Structures are given as C-alpha cells and as structure tokens.
Amino acid sequence: MEKDHNVSRRQFLTYALLGTGGFMAAGVIMPMVRFGVDPILQADAEDDMVDVAAVDDLTDVPQAFDMEYEQDHGWHVEQVTETVWIHMEGDEVVALSPTCTHLGCTVNWGTDPDNPEQFFCPCHFGRFERDGTNVQGTPPTEPLHRYEHEVRDGRVFLGTNPSPQI
C-alpha cells in the first residue's frame, strides 16, 4: 500500500526545498532587477508642459501671462510663478521669456514711449522686436529666449525651460 504513492519521500522533500528556495531567491533578485531597469519604467517625462493660456485670448500684441508650476528639487518641491509674453505670429504661437539677455532685468512690452512696438528693458534701455530679436545698437547681444509650446484643445502648453533663439 505504501508503494502506491507516486511521489517518494525523497522526491517530495526535493520539490519542497526547490520551491521555497526559488521563492526566496526571487524575493531577493526581483527588487535588484527592478532597481536596475527603473528609468525604463518611469512615466514619460514629456508631460512637463504647463497649461498657460487659451489660444482664443491671444492677439498679435504680446500679453503677459503667469505660468505656475512645481519645481522638484529632489527633497522639496517649490511652487514657481514666472511671467511669459505670448502673442500670435500668423497662426504660430510665440512665447518669450521676459528676462533681458543683457544682465537679466525684466522687459515689458511697449513701455518706451518712443518705441511702442517693441519690448523695452528699463535698466539699460535694451530693446527687442516683437519676435524677440534684439535691436542693434542697444546693449543686449542676443534675442529673448523662447519657450517650447504645444496647442492642445485650444489651450497653450509651454515647456518650463526657455531656450536661446539663434
């Protein structure tokens, strides 16, 4: 009757040991693999763009909009508010940084009575055209930096890092 078992005692012990051993090994190895491939599993960083304005609100005259987003410094998250000058150039949205490329003052649109159709920096009278190009003969040596943009469902989304225009 004893011989009717189709698993011997020895086989049973082997299976049991292999089974629990396997589980334990997997428990150790899996997290290691997980750490190794972590960057691949991260959600795409593409959605770092911030909703700033409605396309319908834009005109061909630059207007100041506030851009609010959270900046992650690793351990703490900082709430940042930046101002962006946005206007339409034909069908194209143009979003410019208000930081003067000379020494970093804040530029405004049309505040110089002699040049109402330009950006004006109050510090050293730097001027920029509507598209951000620096006016020759004023201190700035490069155009205003420009934000990456995307239009989704009638809203303008901007990247958070303005980059130089060449």
Partner 1 sequence: MQWQTADIDTYQQSQSYVDTALIPLLSVSLGEEMKSAVAMGEYISLISMEMEKQFRGRVLQLPPLVYPQNESQETLLQHVDAWADELKSNGKNHIIWVTADPSWKKVENDLPGLLLWLPHLPIEHMDKKLQQKTLNDQMKEILPQVMKEWQQEKGL
Which one of 95, 100, 144, 158 is in contact with partner 1 (CB under 8 A)?
Answer: 100
| Of the residues 27, 39, 74, 104, which one makes contact with partner 1 according to CB under 8 A | 104
User: Judged by CB under 8 A, which of 67, 96, 121, 144 binds partner 1?
Assistant: 121
In the three-class reduction of DSSP (H, G, I as helix; E, B as strand; rest coil), residue 63 is classed as strand
CB 78 within 8 A of CB 45: no
Burial of 159 (0-12, 13-18, 19+ CB in 10 A): middle
Query: Least separation, in Å, of the C-beta of 106 and partner 1?
Result: 5
Of 10-18, 22-30, 84-92, 102-110, the segment contacting partner 1 by CB under 8 A is 102-110
| Torsion sign (Cα): 66, 70, 72, 77 | positive
Q: How far apart are CA 68 and CA 84, in angstroms?
A: 10
Count of H-run helices and E-run strands, the chain: 2, 9
Which listed residue (17, 18, 123, 151) binds partner 1 by CB under 8 A?
Answer: 123
For partner 1, the closer CB: 125 or 148: 125
Q: Report the residue from 1, 28, 72, 79 that binds partner 1 according to the rule CB under 8 A.
A: 79
Residues contributing to the site for partner 1 (CB under 8 A): 66, 79, 81, 100, 102-106, 111, 121-124, 139
